[in-house]
Amino acid sequence: MTQNPTARATARRNVADRIDRFLKGLERAKRQPNRRELFWLREALANLQEGQYPAGEEAMDKAERALPVPEHSVSDLGTNASATVEQLRVQLDRIMKPEG
């Protein structure tokens, strides 16, 4: 089903806002994301970049609840790589940068 441009823009902004709020919460707590949060944040960012907004919302639900990393990803080296809040924010900003 194809969404109209306004609905797509709203869905995109909703996912970006959730990621932003989550990152701000980590900043306020003065901590970096734990492994579970980081996995789901990366999923949400990837979905945002790919325009898969419902999947991005679902990933953020999982990040907010710090759900376990899927079994098939546990031994993936990329899953174990750390990232700071600042690095995640740069990635979010890059995704949301207006195309020009």
Average pLDDT value for residue range 82-87: 94
pLDDT digits (tens, 9 = 90+) for 58-81: 999 999 999 998 887 766 666 667
Domain boundaries, the chain: 5-95
Q: Is the pTM of the predicted complex or chain greater than 0.85?
A: yes
For residues 85 and 30, the answer to whether their CB atoms sit within 8 Å is no
* Helix pair 85-96, 5-28: axis angle to 10 deg: 160
Average pLDDT value for residue range 42-70: 96
User: What mean pLDDT, rounded, does the chain reach?
Assistant: 91
pLDDT at 62: 97
pLDDT digits (tens, 9 = 90+) for 13-37: 999 999 999 999 999 999 999 999 9
In percent, the amount of the chain with pLDDT more than 70 equals 89
